[in-house]
A and B are shown apart, each in its own frame.
Chain A
Amino acid sequence: MERRQDVVLGLVLAALGGFAAHEATSYRGASGTYPLVLGAVLAVLGLALVARALRQSGNRARPLAVHAVRLVGTGAMSAIYLALIPALGFYTASAVAVAAMPAALGLRRPALLGLGAVIFIGTVWLVFSLVLNKPLPPEIWFRPG
């Protein structure tokens, strides 16, 4: 049991429950009762978690990441990819991500990466745009000027 993590988690949940319960008091009639009860129960359970963690004698380490740099890096690259979708278009942003992310994680095989990106993006285009005809964010290259 990681005491500090559980204390923080419990406090966050208690605050979330408290906020939800407070917010629910402003809803009309029965609309607010159900979320009010749920918010209150969440707050109580969060505090129970804090109390249990504080009473615990031992403190077993529980790492939040196996490899923090790769984890944060991948999270950041994922966010950049999502931000690039409206800017570059879905397929262009995806092709960049498919080629760049494995390379950033250490894969030094450009031929495999290039081939993988072409085959994968081609398949996605075939399935989603050609067969299923789903509208996706337009490519920067094909936008009217």
Chain B
Amino acid sequence: MDIILQILSGVFAPDTMLAMLGASLLGVFIGALPGLNPVMAIALLLPLTYSMDPLVALGMVAGIYNGSMYGGAIPAILLRIPGTPAAIATTFDGYPMAQRGEAAKALKIACWSSAIGGTASALALMTLGPLLARGTLYFGPAEYFWVAMFGMASIGVMVGRDPLKGLIASVLGLLLGTVGLDQLSGTPRFTFDQPWLLGGLDLIVILVGLYALPPVLQLAEAADLKGLPASALRLGRVRLTRADVVSLVPTWIRSSLIGIGVGILPGAGGNIAAFLSYNAAKNRAPDPDSFGKGNPAGVAAAECGNNADNAASMIPALTLGIPGNVVAALVLGALLIHGLQPGPQLFSQAPDLVGGFMVQMLVTSLLILAVGGAAATRVFAQVQRLPGVMLVPTILVLMAVGVYVINGRLVDLWLMFGAGLAGYLLEKLDVPLAPIVLGLILGPMAEQGVRRALLIGRGDPMSLISHPLSAVIALATLGFILWPLLRRLKPRRPPAA
């Protein structure tokens, strides 16, 4: 009971509430701007949270995440340009509704659906997370090692288009995680006599480079010099009727469940949740032909599905240290900044913080109803009148100031720049970036786990799989790595004549 009161007093403290409200507004703004995305925004935000109270910092992450997932619907509906990748399915029916003069109604449905999906997802996190965490109390060093390997393998195989390149990214991330002083023996590794490398590669510096510089370069390549005309962004006033709401309830329930299920799976993101929810709504509808032509249920399904993925992706992240998507990986990064090691021990290490973050995911989902209202949506839509090229230097300046204030070192700016160029190139070559980040986060846990397990087992490699639990996780890891190979070996049916 005491811990619940402690959590609630922390979350509802004025400074934390103000941070969540501000971040939710900022999130909608970021989501509404095509080219910007929540991953980049959170990566830019993290350096600023060093000196903040951890709960305030996590509240801001929650606000930006939930806010931006709704914000992506604004240009998706008004202009058929998804503000975030997760809003692609929203364009299918949102834009046709806007074309027949129902943009305000589509935006209101998107706002409600986002809030409902996000709330359902946060409730799932609050119930399933602690249950799963209790199971992890049985973990020893070998299990910690295999959990880290499972996370690396699953995100490596599932997050990109090419499983081999995903695995390469995972190993590269783990290798980058070894740079600096060895935590167990104090031996400097890959430091090349550079004192600034002794502490290892700073996670946030690499994160900002990898996730913020590629969008900057892409915005420059697109070279939008005009922005959008005011006439494209005009909205009328509308109220959702009781009949509208009642007709959407089954869609909201179905899409919430789909989004939560997808969120728990490592590597599957909000866009997959949105597509699956949209397809389910279409298949269940009495008039499936009306989908793609402005059916409100299409907007509701897509937006509810993609927001239901948000908090659910934190379930494996907070309990096992395996992020369901890149934002969850960034949340793990935020925890690291505040001295907390992501992984199975997190719930016992900082229950007030983890519990507080879960409640914040719920509160910021509900805040969408406040910050995504008609007036705010009108304001956010107007930012699209700015020429896109103006964002290029502004993001660059925010990257520089954010990275510099971490350690006060100019060399970090160049490290960030190098990581950004590498990130741009790797993305173009279909090498996913998320496993690299995850490798940096989970690498130390994996190394400590394997070395401690071998020490306990007196160097016997079999000690890594001698317990049933470690053997099961090891098998699951192997399964994830071999899955793409097995799929390729499966004989294909000849095409029907």
Contacts and interface: CB of A to CB of B under 8 A. Distances in A.
Given A35-B178, A107-B389, A135-B408, A74 B220 contact: yes
Interface string A1-40: 0000110010001001100100110011111101100110
B217 interface: yes
A55 interface: no
A132 to B, nearest CB: 7
Interface of B: 48, 51, 164-165, 167-168, 171-172, 174-175, 178, 182, 184-185, 187, 189-190, 213, 216-218, 220-223, 225, 387, 389-390, 392-394, 396-398, 400-401, 404-405, 408, 410, 413-414, 417, 421, 425, 428-431, 447, 450-451, 454
Given A31-B182, A31-B185, A71-B220, 20 more contacts: A13-B172, A31-B184, A38-B171, A38-B174, A42-B172, A45-B168, A64-B425, A65-B428, A70-B221, A75-B421, A78-B213, A81-B393, A90-B400, A97-B396, A98-B394, A101-B220, A101-B392, A116-B390, A132-B405, A136-B405
A49 B168 contact: yes
A92 to B, nearest CB: 12
The list of the 4 closest CB pairs from A to B, nearest first, reads A74-B220, A31-B187, A101-B393, A102-B389
Interface of A: 5-6, 9, 13, 16-17, 20, 23-24, 27-32, 34-35, 38-39, 41-42, 45-46, 48-49, 52, 62-67, 70-71, 73-75, 78-79, 81-82, 85-86, 90, 94, 97-98, 100-102, 105-107, 109, 112-113, 116, 120-121, 124, 128, 132, 134-137
Given A31-B187, A34-B450, A70-B223, A106 B389 contact: yes
Do most interface residues of chain A lie in helix, strand or loop, or is the interface mixed? helix
Nearest to B178: A35
Contacts of A39: 175
A136 B413 CA distance: 12
Q: Which of B171, B393, B454 has the most chain A CB within a 10 Å cutoff?
A: B393
Contacts of A100: 393
Given A74-B217, A102-B387, A135-B408, A27 B187 contact: yes
B405 A82 contact: no
Q: Secondary structure of the B side of the interface?
A: helix
A105 B389 contact: yes
Contacts of B220: 70-71, 73-74, 101, 105
Given A65-B221, A106-B389, A132-B51, A86 B168 contact: no
